[in-house]
Structure 1
Amino acid sequence: MRIWGPLAALCLGTFMLLIDVTIVLAALPSLSGSLGSSLSQLQWVADGYALAVAAALLGAGMLADRHGRRRVYAVGLVVFASASVACALSPDMGWLIAARLVQGVGAAAMFTTTLSLISTLYSGRRLGLAYGVWAAVASSASALGPILGGLLTQALNWRWIFYVNVPVTALALVMTFRCIPRRTPDRDATRRLDVPGVVLCALGAGGCVYALTASHAHGWASAGTLVPLAVALVACAVFVAVQRRSTHPLLDLSLFRRPEFTAAMITIAVGGGAVYGVLPYTSLWLQSVQHLSPIGAGLVVLPHAAAAGLVAVLSGRWMPKPSPRLGATLGLLLAGLGVAAEGFLGPGSGWPALIGGLALSGIGMGLVFQVAAALALGSVPPERAGMAGGAYSTFEQLGYAFGVAVFGTLAVSTMNRSLNDVVPDPENTAQTLSGGGADTLLAATPAGARSAFGHTLHSVFATAHNTLALTAGALAITGAALVLRLTRRRPNPPKSAVAGSPAKPAAAAQVDG
């Protein structure tokens, strides 16, 4: 249990918090029918959680460094489980979105501590194996979310995708107290939570995502889009200025002078945003256009999950000190080629057209998760492990949140253009179709015209999905080129840094309480 017990406790929490990023995807049509929702509301069910995780991660990481990583991880489990119950009991979309935000805060407390706990508990080849197992859980959880969501939605109802969190997080909580050693953290009395930094980070990220989500409903020139975007940009600029002057910053910007650390942030943000940002619209296409059941739509993603998990474990075992030029670049390249291969759907295409691309992107993401996590922790001094873990998790969730928002805007605009001169109101039709309402549109069409109009909807959705997939592929491949260039020359690291795997502190057998 000294080796596997702590890792199992951390991986259980990681699995649940990451599976909740995508578990709602298979339930989106059911949610829309049960509670009534627009595309913007459906986006916020997925994006609100990821955004809350990203906004709270750095603050949670600072609290963990001050009050103990094990303690903050345990508190996160309790908040996550409680918010999951609130999600399951939601009477309307507003309640559900609010509960998802609270759930994201609990997930942030869990997520920001897992990597730093692993880096403290393990060293050498065991550290590489631990990263590999953790990365396998992280990558497969994101892909298995739609499968589990589809199974629970079809067998019971959508509320059970949240109820299922409670027993698993309870088990993780028990294992945390039994298996992870406790140590009283060395508290710096002068170190306080950077409240302005947390608020500015939330305003910057939230404002950008809100503006992107609102743009397809109100237009880019509207006040509803421009005002939050302006607030977000100002908040981001002030955040950078505050962090540069702060004695105890929420995020030490000097870390980005380290090429490997910057490469890790680019790798996880671009990989997660490109691959998993498209996944909600793939799920909507499978269910609303291809009329697969929720579990059927989830099973289509299984090759991605299997490939990602297998590659993450193998790469962790074979590459305990991963090369950014090899692992990160190759991972992003394969992920980009895989998601781009999903961009060749036609009006008559079925789900088998996606399998090859999903498997290839899974291989790429298995490398991305394992290598980026190891690089993020291995490129900074041990005392910065909590901050580095928080930054890694923040960039991962921001990548996903921005991916969903950007691709949602692109999906609506592409459908709108395709429907011009085809329907009287292309804008509203595009909104309905992109939100999974193909059957609603067909039901409102005269019986004699339904067959032809159904073919049109198939073609329009396929065109939009192709645009998203090819754009995501180009983004990931560009990211691979950027990481390759960034790590072309590796300067000698500062003496305080560790070039390979993180150094194990003298008290490595102990973990913060």
Structure 2
Amino acid sequence: MTAGPARTQADHRPAIQEEFHPDGLPMPQRFWAALAVAVSVMMAVLDGAIANVALPTLSQELQVAPSTSIWVVNAYQLAITVTLLPLAALSEIVGYRRVYVVGVAVFVLGSAACALSGSMTALTLSRVVQGLGASGIMSTNAALIRFTYPRAMLGRGIGVNALVVATSSALGPTIAGGILLVASWPWLFAVNVPIGLAALFLGWRSLPLSPLAKRRFDWVSALLCAATFGTLITGLDSISYGGSLTETVAQFAVTLLAGGWLLSRQVSASAPLLPVDLMRIPIFALSVGTSVCSFLAQMLAYASLPFLLQNGVGLSAVQTGLMMTPWPLATAVVAPISGRLADRYSPGLLGGAGLALFALGLLSLAFLPSAPAAWDIGWRMALAGAGFGLFQSPNNRAMLGSAPRERSGGAGGMLATARLLGQTVGAALVALVLARFGAVGPTTALLLGAGAAALAAVVSMLRLLPSTAHR
């Protein structure tokens, strides 16, 4: 199915990269490769957070309705979702580094186009380009980490990556506010250009070689995958915003037809684009289920907490942002520690314990007093964030480590897809709950989130069974 180490991208790499390292890179090359991955991930995460904060400004300055400005976010997320698994499969064939380098280059071009956009249409199309570049980064991120770090340090590498994601999420709104305070909105996107060029240079010079698979890219399956996930996302979005019944049913019908056709093509493939081969590995399948449930719970909380704190408690938007900060900060502190622990202890145990804490944190937020002190909100946020950080690194390590090395692209693509799927379903549920339950909607969403986190803890604990506990 795959070529051995002799067939790598060596003929396209700088002289310092000629040797293939089967168990991680030596220092200092490992440091520079890890930095390249961290910079690119930071850029992609920051961009999502920055765009969310900028929506009111974009709506006003480009003279469009707020509902129209949301497509600045939707176009970016949709482009990522429909191309993640196809690009992950492509990276196994042409090399993770090549897809990463092209992804960063496309992201930089998309960022420049966003900064130069003079209309909402141009900005939305530029965000699609940005999303395609971000998909190239995200689809190879996990696989590159696996080939950068020795197996004995894989959890540590994943923990560092989780630290970068959590820190970027925490700083995103602050950075966006700071840029808008001193400059116009195009600078929100222009700032990506120098960062992206730095990531491009670091990646070209330091990222690891990987074996290349001896197979052709399955274009039909790639199109079916895009249709399946694309219509699933737009269908859920239609439910969230009260779309017509005919439109919603039509979208889900396409999801079922395209998904069924895709699955029929994949079940007999030796290295399928939709990684059904990896889903036959019990610990991988359980890790995917844990990830979907946990990110569903995360989005139920993230999307409902601003309504609870502003409408229920009476905080301002700025105060709400500050009160939510302990969550990503606690995740940033705990994630690297749990990454180190993941190299020694079972992901089922660490993930189950973390998700139990996460569920308790969400439950405590659901029963927040009507007039809480700042510390009373802070410790509940920190508990939820710490639990999430304890779960995330071991779960990601289990997903990557249980897959064959030559299927690192498929494993990494599924890791990112599980996260996006959970978040998308969670966002749709929040919209439904807020519309259906009115004033108690945020509390109801948090209770649902606590239930989803508890379910994720149970699924995680199933990895302790003898038949699935191998690492």
Q: Same fold (TM over 0.5)?
A: yes
Aligned 8 A contact 2:349 2:464 in 1: no
Alignment CA distance shift 1:31-1:348 (3 Å): farther
Q: Distance in 2 between matches of 1:103 and 1:5?
A: 24
1:413-432 to 2 correspondences below 5 Å: 413-415=436-438
Aligned 8 A contact 1:58 1:251 in 2: yes
CA shift for structure 1 position 401: 2.4
Q: Which one of the candidate residues 204, 225, 245 is aligned to 1:201?
A: 225
* 2:33 maps to 1:10: no
Q: Distance in 2 between matches of 1:89 and 1:180?
A: 31
Q: Distance in 2 between matches of 1:321 and 1:380?
A: 18
CA shift for structure 1 position 224: 2.1
Alignment CA distance shift 1:168-1:204 (3 Å): same
CA shift for structure 1 position 391: 1.0
Aligned 8 A contact 2:239 2:432 in 1: yes
CA shift for structure 1 position 94: 4.3
1:25-36 to 2 correspondences below 5 Å: 25-35=52-62
Q: Distance in 1 between matches of 2:166 and 2:31?
A: 19
CA shift for structure 1 position 234: 2.2
Alignment CA distance shift 1:206-1:353 (3 Å): farther
Aligned 8 A contact 1:14 1:138 in 2: yes
Match in the other structure for 2:447: 470
Aligned 8 A contact 2:238 2:248 in 1: yes
Aligned 8 A contact 2:45 2:165 in 1: yes
- Letter paired with 1:82: L
Q: Which one of the candidate residues 255, 269, 272 is aligned to 2:278?
A: 255
Aligned 8 A contact 2:148 2:208 in 1: no
1:197-276 to 2 correspondences below 5 Å: 197-218=221-242, 222-276=245-299
CA shift for structure 1 position 297: 4.5
C-alpha RMSD of the superposition: 2.9
1:318-337 to 2 correspondences below 5 Å: 318-337=341-360
Structure 1 window deviating more from structure 2 (151-160 vs 100-109): it is 151-160
1:89-113 CA-partner distances (Å, limit 9, x unpaired): 4445444443333222211111121
CA shift for structure 1 position 232: 1.6
Aligned 8 A contact 1:47 1:405 in 2: no
Q: Which one of the candidate residues 85, 97, 115 is aligned to 1:58?
A: 85
1:73-101 CA-partner distances (Å, limit 9, x unpaired): 11110111222233344445444443333
Q: Distance in 1 between matches of 2:75 and 2:349?
A: 34
Aligned 8 A contact 1:51 1:398 in 2: no
1:337-358 CA-partner distances (Å, limit 9, x unpaired): 2233333457766876642332
Match in the other structure for 1:168: 195
Alignment CA distance shift 1:281-1:159 (3 Å): farther
- Letter paired with 1:491: S
1:185-200 to 2 correspondences below 5 Å: 185-188=211-214, 191-200=215-224
1:485-496 to 2 correspondences below 5 Å: 486-491=462-467
- Letter paired with 2:108: A
Q: Distance in 1 between matches of 2:373 and 2:256?
A: 42
Aligned 8 A contact 1:66 1:187 in 2: yes
- Letter paired with 2:217: L
Q: Which one of the candidate residues 145, 148, 161 is aligned to 2:175?
A: 148
- Letter paired with 2:253: A
Match in the other structure for 1:435: none
CA shift for structure 1 position 359: 1.2
TM-score (norm 2): 0.84
Aligned 8 A contact 1:125 1:317 in 2: no
Q: Distance in 1 between matches of 2:78 and 2:450?
A: 23
Match in the other structure for 1:444: none
Q: Any idea what SS the aligned residue of 1:213 has?
A: helix
1:261-317 CA-partner distances (Å, limit 9, x unpaired): 1122122222223213542454567679957455x5543332112211111111122
Q: Distance in 2 between matches of 1:34 and 1:273?
A: 33
Aligned 8 A contact 1:274 1:473 in 2: yes
TM-score (norm 1): 0.78
Q: Any idea what SS the aligned residue of 2:29 has?
A: coil
